[in-house]
Structure 1
Amino acid sequence: MTTDTETTSGAARRESGGAVRRYLAALRTPRGAIGAGLLGLLVLLAVLAPVLFPGGYDDQGDNALAGASGAHWMGTDELGRDIVARTIFGLRTDLTLLLTAVPASAVIGTLMGLAGVISRWLGAGMQRLLDVILGFPGIVLGMSVVLVLGTGWSALFVSILVIGLPLFGRQARAGLQVEQEREYVLAARVLGVRRRTVLTRHVLPNIVDPIVVNAAVYMVVAVFIEAGLSIVGLGIQPPIPSLGAMLNTGARYLEVHPAYVMGPGLVLLLLTLAFTLLSNALNKAVLRR
């Protein structure tokens, strides 16, 4: 039994190392490199926002809705605040939201999908719950969460987390059902290997690839969830900037100051492009497995 355990442990380590190599290979492809580089640049800008703009995002001036100048590259908003500064701080807000809510949704959704390992009834119950969540359009579900919890960062976090649960839960459930019928899983059970060991050493390493790809894809969806809720006034509230909230406010001044929406719109486009390229590169790397 010790030998069998050591063998499965070694296989798990090899599978884990293979997954890392696949992801690194994906980043070396043209799409992966461009996506990773673009995302890295955006993250760097967000991290350095307080250094680049020591006055902060709410530093008001006397010249409202001013055009582009040396002091304000994209002009100012209706309160005389620098649009570039607020756009970078808005990017910072969006990235903190995406890089926490999406991983949390992936982990919780995957655990819900794997609940069938503990009990068949529990697994079936979790699937019915995921079906109920899936039955609501994403934006409607997000609006419902915001109306219950109130507007702000926390409500957006919960909205993104909950909306993504069916994506990861159903993927994990499907992977679990396939892996349970594999010969090596059946052999492990015959040898008396515990369910938890079978799950962590056999099932999880073989379903992690689609979960990672789905997480990258859901990053793109989460960008639009934040933007959609903020555009209708249910997201981040003033004076805290977010890309969606800036688009919401800037749309009112589109005719007199187009640059107001060009800044956050361009950053939103680049953020979406980065995650799209990364998800495509990861998907191709996984399919070559």
Structure 2
Amino acid sequence: MSLRRYLAAFRTSRGIFASTIVVALGGLALLAPVMFPQGYDVQTEFSLQGPDIAHPFGTDELGRDIFVRSLFGLRTDFTIIVIAVPISMVVGTALGLLGAINKLAGTIVQRILDVILGFPGMVLGICIALVLGPGFPALVTAISIAGLPAFGRLARAALVEQMGREYVVAARTLGVGKGTILIRHILPNAADVILVQGAIFVVHAIFIETALSIVGLGIQPPEPSLGALLNVGTRYINQAPTFIVGPTIVLILLALAFSLLADALNDTVNRK
């Protein structure tokens, strides 16, 4: 039944529009090495040129095709999302539900999550990048940690709500183990809000990657990402004003798609 409700979100107008964009962008990112086997670092003498038929997004300071680099950058962003967001969801939910096993441990974890919540994603990412060094591992770590408070709080709220329900009290009275109650009753009731939050957090993850890469603490050259392209583009905004237009459009489309997808899921699975 839950699966049917989730799939119903993709049949709404927003769900169809969002999933179409995600599938299109994901397909382009996945097929980028096939479409452009020469890679993303091919340099030419035509530097800082505007958009034309051969280079839809123009060229960068080294004559590299910005459209090609945007697709490979999109591939990098999708990789970060696919790794970091599920880690944050699973770990955050597990920490939030820890109170079902041990109340003291659950309380301590919530205080730790409150401390993490006090750090904006950008500040947290800078701190982690300074420790681990700029690059892919720092981005994945920063995004994974930044999402823990949201998922942990939602799981904790579901735990507190469900523990007072009659069927949970009856199960405890009959001697049903805490693990069984957690898996059968509490976790399924937390799944809907966790899933919606996951779609919302993808947007935050995208902007964390972009922000850190723009300040030089994210993906390092010559490897591209949407944030890294914007970082370089801002340096040449006077010589080539269209440099950042292409990567910005791709970034906006990606964020818009996941925002609409989150709205569609929220309206469908959390409908009263």
Would you say same fold, with TM above 0.5?
yes
1:220 Cα deviation from its structure 2 partner: 0.7
Corresponding residue of 1:90: 73
Corresponding residue of 1:145: 128
RMSD (Å) for aligned C-alpha atoms: 1.0
Figure out how many residues of one structure are paired with residues of the other and give that number. 272
Q: Does 1:23 align with 2:6?
A: yes
Q: In 1, are the aligned partners of 2:89 and 2:198 still within 8 Å (CA)?
A: yes
1:194 Cα deviation from its structure 2 partner: 1.0
Corresponding residue of 1:271: 254
Corresponding residue of 2:194: 211
CA distance in 1, matches of 2:35, 2:246: 16
CA distance in 2, matches of 1:69, 1:42: 21
Corresponding residue of 2:215: 232
Alpha-carbon deviations, 1:236-281, whole Å to 9, x = none? Answer: 0000000011001001112221221011100000000100000000
CA distance in 1, matches of 2:183, 2:150: 21
1:55 Cα deviation from its structure 2 partner: 1.1
Identity percentage of aligned residues: 56
Corresponding residue of 2:96: 113
Question: Structure 2 matches for 1:60-209, cutoff 5 A?
Answer: 60-209=43-192
CA distance in 2, matches of 1:200, 1:42: 35
1:69 Cα deviation from its structure 2 partner: 3.1
2:228 is aligned, of 245, 254, 278, to 245
2:20 is aligned, of 37, 45, 54, to 37
1:67 Cα deviation from its structure 2 partner: 2.6
1:71 Cα deviation from its structure 2 partner: 2.4
CA distance in 2, matches of 1:226, 1:43: 17
1:99 Cα deviation from its structure 2 partner: 1.6
1:68 Cα deviation from its structure 2 partner: 2.6
Q: In 1, are the aligned partners of 2:94 and 2:152 still within 8 Å (CA)?
A: yes
Alpha-carbon deviations, 1:77-115, whole Å to 9, x = none? Answer: 101111100000000000100121011101000000011
Q: In 1, are the aligned partners of 2:193 and 2:270 still within 8 Å (CA)?
A: no
SS of 1:196's equivalent in the other structure is: helix
Corresponding residue of 1:5: none
CA distance in 2, matches of 1:125, 1:64: 55
Specify the code of the residue in structure 2 equivalent to 1:265. Answer: T
The TM-score, its normalising length taken from structure 2, stands at 0.98
SS of 1:259's equivalent in the other structure is: coil
CA distance in 1, matches of 2:207, 2:166: 42
Corresponding residue of 2:31: 48
SS of 1:238's equivalent in the other structure is: coil
1:25 Cα deviation from its structure 2 partner: 0.6
Q: In 1, are the aligned partners of 2:215 and 2:231 still within 8 Å (CA)?
A: yes
CA distance in 2, matches of 1:74, 1:100: 28
